[in-house]
């Protein structure tokens, strides 16, 4: 690990230098394995938050207090420590500007991580593919990458971001103050005729709610790609 | 909302199956041996709270795949998948790049 950045009180980005990293596509993940001194191993999947950048990859990890892996990664691990990982993994939940648009991205909490790699790649390529991001979080402080997302949206180059806060909002908040629902999706999603590609990432209940909302609005299920995460972890 | 929020999806199997198959299996389409539905492996519902990982058909719920790993061995049961279809890998003709 070469650097860390605290994104929110419970979410930290770990910058890793991986010798011989072959590169990756936005949306792919790595499996990180921890091995205890007695040989016990625990493994979880973590999405890569950044586009391909040589041997460097960033993963953004939410600290789950009853978790087996995240309290170590987001808490104990310090710059200079080594960890075991494999990747890049997954070819389904990926998007890059050459795949065109329009694109709708919907994230709950740290579900924004793989979508951020897509948004960052779009900016890095100076792409103007229309992309809308809807990010739901508990509170204002829990909006991961908010400053960067606001900056990218301010460029007015076809990227926009909308926030939904589910557990209270600061004074003067003009965004949504409820869970993502069908009415919110109707407002933010592209018209069905636009033939948008949609990527949804979050907890399982979040992904199910968003997917059924979009399907109810007439979006073909096959146009919606999903990735679920949970405390049970991946792999 | 679902009554059983404990499952993930086939994206979570990518690393495990990547140890066994040369191609990325999350984008492969699987034909269910139970209901005949055809869907990418990434869409499968995956339960990881078992000793291994269990993937079930997102349409009918039958077990598609079970994967268990020990420190030395991988055990793979593909009982519920009648067919897998995936793009071929590029031919291994180009010399490895430095």
**Within its chain, how far is the Cα of B61 from the centroid?**
14
A131 has a pLDDT exceeding 50: yes
B45-75 burial, b at 16+ Cβ within 10 Å, e below that, comes to bbbbeeebbbbbbbbeeebbbbbebeeeeee
Among candidates B55, B13, B88, which has minimal Cα distance to A93? B13
pLDDT at A232 > cutoff 90: no
Are B6 and A208 an interchain contact pair (Cβ–Cβ within 8 Å)?
A: no
Pairing status of strand B53-56 against strand B45-47? antiparallel
For A107-131, give one letter per residue: b (16+ CB within 10 A) or e. bbbbbbbbbbbbbbbbbeeebebbb
CB of B43 within 8 Å of any CB in chain A?
yes
Sequence-ordered list of residues with C-beta below 8 angstroms from that of A137, at least 6 positions apart, any chain: A108, A109, A143, A144, A163, A164, A165, A166
* Residues pairing with B69 in the sheet: B74
Q: A89 near A30, Cβ under 8 Å? A: yes
Q: What is the ipTM of this complex?
A: 0.87
Q: Do B1 and A208 touch (CB under 8 A)?
A: yes
The alpha-carbon gap from A156 to the nearest alpha carbon of chain B, in Å, equals: 33
The answer to whether A197 and A105 have CB atoms below 8 angstroms apart is: no
Of B44, B40, B28, the residue nearest B89 (C-alpha) = B28
Is residue A88 within 8 A of residue A22, CB to CB? The reply is yes
Q: How confident is the model at residue A233 (pLDDT cuts 50, 70, 90)?
A: very low
C-beta separation of A144 from A8 below 8 A: yes
For A24-28, A137-141, A217-221, B5-9, which range has the lowest pLDDT when averaged over its residues? B5-9
Cross-chain CB nearest to B11 (options A87, A208, A227): A227
pLDDT category of residue A231 using cuts at 50, 70 and 90: low
The CA distance from A12 to A15, in Å, is 10
pLDDT computed for residue B3 by the predictor: 46
Inform me whether the pLDDT recorded for A185 exceeds 90.
yes
Indicate the burial class of B83 (C-beta count within 10 angstroms; 0-12, 13-18, 19 or more): exposed
Of A39, A92, A205, the CB nearest to B1: A205
- Is the pLDDT at B92 greater than 90, yes or no? no
Report the C-alpha gap between B1 and A204 in whole angstroms: 9
pLDDT in tens, B1-16: 344 568 999 999 999 9
The alpha carbon of residue B61 is apart from the nearest alpha carbon of chain A, in Å, by: 16
Query: Of the candidates B15, B42, B43, which has its C-beta nearest A235's C-beta?
Result: B15
Helix (H) or strand (E) holding A29: strand A29-35
Cross-chain CB nearest to A228 (options B8, B24, B49): B8
Put simply, the answer to whether A45 touches B1 (Cβ < 8 Å) is no
Residue B3 to residue A215: CA distance in whole angstroms:
19
> Model confidence at A234, in pLDDT bands (50, 70, 90)?
very low
The domain limits of chain B are 8-85
Could you report the per-residue pLDDT of A192-208, keeping only the tens digit for each?
Answer: 999 999 999 999 999 99
Q: Alpha-carbon distance A158 to B46, whole Å?
A: 35
- CA within 13 Å, CB half, A204: 21
Q: Does B7 touch chain A (CB under 8 A)?
A: yes
**Contact residues, chain B, for A234 at CB < 8 Å:** 8, 11-12, 15, 48
Q: What is the pLDDT of residue B5?
A: 62
Q: What are phi and psi of A151, to 5 degrees?
A: -65, -45
What's the pLDDT band for A59 if we cut at 50, 70, 90? Answer: very high
What is the share, in percent, of chain A residues with pLDDT greater than 90? Answer: 89
Interface of A with B (CB under 8 A): 29, 31, 39, 41, 43, 45, 86-87, 89-93, 203-205, 208-209, 225-230, 232-235
- Distance separating alpha carbons of residues A20 and A88, to the nearest angstrom: 12
């Amino acid at each position: 690990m070469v650097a860390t950045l605290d994104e929110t009180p419970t979410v930290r980005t770990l910058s890793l230098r991986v010798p011989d990293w072959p590169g990756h596509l936005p949306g792919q993940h790595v499996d990180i394995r921890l091995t205890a001194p007695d040989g016990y191993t625990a493994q979880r999947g973590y999405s890569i938050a950044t586009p391909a950048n040589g041997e460097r990859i960033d993963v953004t990890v939410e600290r789950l207090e009853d978790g087996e892996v995240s309290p170590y990664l987001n808490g104990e691990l310090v710059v200079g420590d080594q960890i075991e990982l494999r990747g890049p993994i997954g070819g389904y939940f990926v998007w890059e500007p050459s795949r065109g648009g329009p694109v709708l991205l919907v994230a709950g909490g740290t579900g924004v991580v793989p979508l951020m790699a897509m948004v960052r790649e779009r900016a890095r390529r100076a792409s103007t593919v229309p992309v809308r991001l809807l990010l739901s979080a508990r509170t204002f402080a829990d909006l991961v990458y908010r400053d960067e997302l606001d900056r990218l949206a301010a460029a007015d180059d076809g990227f926009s971001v909308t926030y939904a806060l589910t557990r209270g909002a600061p004074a003067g908040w003009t965004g949504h103050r409820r869970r993502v629902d069908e009415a919110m999706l109707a407002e933010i999603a592209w018209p069905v005729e636009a033939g948008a590609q949609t990527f949804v990432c979050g907890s399982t209940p979040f992904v199910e709610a968003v997917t059924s909302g979009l399907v109810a609005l007439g979006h073909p299920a096959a146009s919606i790609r999903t990735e679920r995460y949970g405390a049970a972890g991946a792999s | 909302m679902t009554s059983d929020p404990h499952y993930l999806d086939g994206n979570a199997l990518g690393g495990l199956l990547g140890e066994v198959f040369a191609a990325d299996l999350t984008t492969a389409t699987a034909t269910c041996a139970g209901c005949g539905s055809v869907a990418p492996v990434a869409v499968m519902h995956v339960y990881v709270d078992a000793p291994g990982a269990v993937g079930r058909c997102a349409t009918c719920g039958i077990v598609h795949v079970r994967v268990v790993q020990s420190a030395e061995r991988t055990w793979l049961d593909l009982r519920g998948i009648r067919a897998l279809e995936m793009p071929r890998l590029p031919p291994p003709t180009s010399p490895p790049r430095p």
